[in-house]
Structure formats: C-alpha cells, structure tokens
Structure 1
C-alpha cells in the first residue's frame, strides 16, 4: 500500500508538500523524502516525534542513535511507516536542524494502492515557497503551568563553594604553570 502524506511547515504562510511513499518504507525514508521535497541539503540532525490528535509531542525517534551505548536507542531506520502510522494514528511531528528548528506537521491523508509505473517516494504536490530562515518559535508553558518547575532544586550559596581556591588544591592544579 501507499501512504500519502501532507507535510506542513509550522509557519503563518501556507507551505506544504504532499508526498506518496510505500507503507513498508521507514521513517528514515520519509525523512529523506521531506528533505528533498523542501530543498534542504540533508546535512542536519532531525527527529520525528509521535503525537496525539492535538499535535501534543510525545516520544522522539531520532535520525541517529544518541544513546550512551551503541544500539541502545532505536532510530528512524528501525521504524517502518506502518508500525507508527495507521488509519487511527495519522499524525507525527518532524523537526529538521535543531539549531534553526524547522518544524513540520506530518499527517497521513490516505492509504491507497500503488500506481503502475510510479517510483516511490513521489512528490505529488508542492505549495508555497520556503522562507529563507525557519519561522520563530514561541516556547511557552501551557496556561497554568510553570515551565521552570522541573528545574527547581535546593540551590543555595553553598553550591558556589566549588569555586573556592581551597577546593582545587587536592586536584594537583598548579597555578604557577599558567602565564
């Protein structure tokens, strides 16, 4: 079967691409199709995120294994599209280039029979011109939430005592070696 996606840039202007791809292709194949459809060079890190019907971000699926142990974390190449997306679960989020945060909403619009003579993935439709830079993101907490609450700790003046010169004497640091 063929999955037909609409990939929408998270921006005020309407910029989207419709892509058809085989259901057994992987998220990495979809990543490559998106990179090509939007004209990126493909040299940046990217991730997909599972999400709910309201586009609330859930689990990350990175392009590369970023775990402490090699093979510890599954990557895009480990997930066939039909293992993540179904008629009931149609939405994922795609982020390309974590310095610029190009963010896309990816929605499965149709599951159809393959067309004879068509090579997949296939760019079906292109609308809008990509901006020169990624749209600005407004990172705010949801209403009633304190976005810094996870970072609260028992910080006090004693936390700064690591900068006292006495603490470095035991480490064999000799200031006379510095110019």
Structure 2
C-alpha cells in the first residue's frame, strides 16, 4: 500500500508552504525523512527527529535519526522503524523537526492510503506549494493569560531569604 502525506511547514507569518508525498507503507522513517528533506531543498545532513503526535499536534514519542540516548533508554530509530508501525488509520499525525540549531518544524499528516500504481517510482513527490523561506520561521511561545498573574507573589509567607536569624539552624553548620 502507498501512504500519501501532506507535509506542512510551521510558518505562521508567511504564505502556506507544503508538499504532498507518496511513499510505501513498508519503507522506513528514514526514507520518509529523505523525501521530506529533498522535497524542501535541504541537503539532509542535519540532525532530525519525528515525533508521534495526537489530533491536537501534541508531541509524543521520538523517532530519532541517531541514537543520542543514555544507556538503558531505548529510542526508536528512523533507520529501523517501518512507517506502517507508527502511522496508520488510527494514528495519522507526526511532527518532524529538522536541523536542531534552526528548528525547522513540519506537520506531517497521512491523507490517504491507496494501491500502488504500476509504473510509478516511490517515494514520489506529487505536489509542491509555496517556497521555503531562507531562514526557519521564528517560534513565538505565548503563555496562557491568567487573571491571577498580577496577584502572584513568589514568597507569600513573608520570609526574607537573606535573613537567617529566625531560622532554626546554625548558619555555619559545616
């Protein structure tokens, strides 16, 4: 079977930039990484990771390009993870981060699953929309507004952390 993905650049300030791709369900996540980087004009030499995502695009389990984990911590690797083991009808979304220094962020969504077409080479770039900017879009993180923020005091108990005289320990204990 063939998976059709739409890969959208997280680009809130410019025009939409996306690519529609086809790839075999039996290919690896590394194959998907390669067609994404090629379709957006990257050389593919920077660090990258996929993250399994839910319907609200919350970042979940990582599928890494290289194993940078500490001993004992297992991480799925792109080169050994089959696409259909991660993406299917019940789990259709991934977040893809490319170049951790610049943080190119893409939303990858499975659009449909079709039969393989005779004479078509896969992976296949089906459609290109928009030009990728010269630099990764800047991320702006906005905190949720909270009416109680103005009333917040760091230490509501009135303690002066620089005054040790009222504390029950010897300041020079060691």
Same fold (TM over 0.5): yes
Question: Are residue 27 (structure 1) and residue 9 (structure 2) matched?
Answer: no
1:98 to 97, 100, 104: 100
Shift of the 68–116 alpha-carbon distance from structure 1 to 2, 3 Å rule, reads same
Q: Normalising by the residue count of structure 1, what TM-score does the alignment of the two structures yield?
A: 0.76
Shift of the 90–42 alpha-carbon distance from structure 1 to 2, 3 Å rule, reads same
Task: Please identify, of 73-82 and 113-122, the stretch whose mean Cα deviation from structure 2 is larger.
Answer: 73-82
Aligned residues: 147
Report how far residue 69 of structure 1 moved. 3.7
Question: Are residue 77 (structure 1) and residue 89 (structure 2) matched?
Answer: no
CA distance in structure 1 between the aligned counterparts of 2:81 and 2:129, rounded to whole angstroms: 28
More helix, by proportion = 1
Instruction: Tell me, yes or no, if the aligned pair for 2:62 and 2:75 is still in contact at 8 Å.
Output: no
Shift of the 98–2 alpha-carbon distance from structure 1 to 2, 3 Å rule, reads same
What does residue range 7-86 of structure 1 map to in structure 2 within 5 Å?
7-12=7-12, 13-69=15-71, 72-86=74-88
Report how far residue 143 of structure 1 moved. 5.6
Report how far residue 68 of structure 1 moved. 2.6
1:112 to 114, 119, 144: 114
Gaps in structure 2 of 5+ consecutive residues: 150-160, 163-174
CA distance in structure 2 between the aligned counterparts of 1:141 and 1:46, rounded to whole angstroms: 27
**What is the root-mean-square deviation in Å for CA atoms of aligned residues?**
2.0
Report how far residue 72 of structure 1 moved. 4.4
Shift of the 57–72 alpha-carbon distance from structure 1 to 2, 3 Å rule, reads closer
CA distance in structure 2 between the aligned counterparts of 1:142 and 1:108, rounded to whole angstroms: 30
CA distance in structure 2 between the aligned counterparts of 1:65 and 1:142, rounded to whole angstroms: 34
Gaps in structure 1 of 5+ consecutive residues: 147-155, 158-179
Give the ranges of 4+ consecutive aligned residues of structure 1 lying more than 6 Å apart after TM superposition: none
Instruction: Name the residue aligned to 1:5.
Output: 5
Q: Normalising by the residue count of structure 2, what TM-score does the alignment of the two structures yield?
A: 0.78
